[in-house]
Amino acid sequence: MIVPANTWQATAAACLDVNAIPVLVDVEPDTYCLDPEKAAAAITPRTRAIIPVHLYNSLADMDRILELARQHKLFVIEDCAHNHGSQWRGRGVGAVGDIGCFSFQSSKSLNAGEGGFVMTNDDRLFERLYSLRNCGRMRPDADPSNWEPVQSGNYRISEWQAAILLAQFERFPAQLAKREANMTFLNEQLGQIEGLKPMLRRPQVTRQGLYQYAFRYDPEAFNEVPVEAFRRALGAELNTSVGGMYYPLNHSPLYQPHTKRRHHLSDEYWQAIDPKRFNTPIAERAFSTESVILSHPHLLADQDNLGDQLSRI
């Protein structure tokens, strides 16, 4: 399975859980999302799926990814954990590929503490997903021709979590619109500061949600001050936490397939899942020298307040 190097470790770990091989592919320098051309180069006859991750305030190039999937007869599994409410060509992310996955972990723009949501437009996959989340049971009114027995467990959302999420939908559209307007404002303002670059927003992105707001920092424009120092200084000025990109998965302390002996299915598989075998220079640069990230609640501020904060940079 094709997985971007810049993502939370769970994206790749899900592949390991079904004995697949996560093939780590580098990202685009202006979105930090999966690079479709690098993905194309990584596809082999054994490839079964591409997992684009819509990361922070960027969307993966779904046009090119869907083209690759059609060409090679692959599934597309969208990781939308960071992009509740975003749209690609007027269609909600998660509904563009074969399966869409969302997270409701406590830091997300829609949250229930933990857990998530999976969606699909495919009837057969829908019945399969229902069974996987509900102890392997068949849905009561399912079409038997779209279902087959499967070993699974209890992955059901609780009624309490569902109630918490449903209540948030009343305010979410207004929050989404405000965050998007403030994102546009920040992109315009930061683009005027030498050495700071907003992330690319493609014209196909017709609505943009986000988990965190990312932009790019060029140390050369700031007398080679390291990005870690810039983050600390900005955080002190804004009295908030300012972070950076996830560790690239080939160097992540959280993505360690070789620490679980159950993954040693064979020597060949053991070697194939070693994340250190992948070379991802763009992802590594984003992490070590370039990315600056603010959490999404900041984008619920009034623009006057945002402008005041920008004046401190």
- What domains can be seen in the chain, in order of their start residue? 2-170 (3.40.640.10), 172-244+282-310 (3.90.1150.10)
pLDDT by residue (tens digit) across 196-250?
A: 999 999 999 999 999 999 999 999 999 999 999 999 999 998 889 999 999 999 9
pLDDT given for residue 313 in this prediction: 64
pLDDT given for residue 303 in this prediction: 83
- Percent of the chain with pLDDT strictly greater than 70: 98
β-bridge mates for residue 3, sequence order: 24
pLDDT given for residue 29 in this prediction: 97
Distances (CA, A) of 126 to 76, 138, 146, 291: 15, 11, 9, 37
State the chain's mean pLDDT as an integer: 95
pLDDT by residue (tens digit) across 64-92?
A: 999 999 999 999 999 999 999 999 999 99
pLDDT given for residue 304 in this prediction: 80
User: Does residue 312 register a pLDDT over 70?
Assistant: no
Burial of 63 (0-12, 13-18, 19+ CB in 10 A): middle
Distances (CA, A) of 74 to 14, 23, 46, 291: 17, 14, 10, 31
pLDDT given for residue 207 in this prediction: 97
pLDDT given for residue 305 in this prediction: 79
CA proximity to 110, closest of 183, 26, 60, 167:
167
Q: What is the mean pLDDT of residues 140-157?
A: 92
Q: What is the mean pLDDT of residues 45-58?
A: 97
Cα separation, 295 vs 243, whole angstroms: 9
Which of the residues 38, 73, 108, 276 is marked catalytic?
108
User: Does residue 157 register a pLDDT over 80?
Assistant: yes
pLDDT given for residue 178 in this prediction: 95
Cα separation, 183 vs 214, whole angstroms: 10
Contacts of 190 (CB under 8 A, 6+ apart): 196, 197, 198, 215, 310
Cα separation, 262 vs 91, whole angstroms: 40
pLDDT given for residue 40 in this prediction: 98
108 given a catalytic annotation: yes
Distances (CA, A) of 208 to 78, 148, 197: 15, 37, 18
User: Does residue 55 register a pLDDT over 80?
Assistant: yes
pLDDT given for residue 311 in this prediction: 67
Confidence of residue 307 (pLDDT cuts 50, 70, 90): confident
Q: What is the mean pLDDT of residues 267-271?
A: 97
Burial of 235 (0-12, 13-18, 19+ CB in 10 A): middle
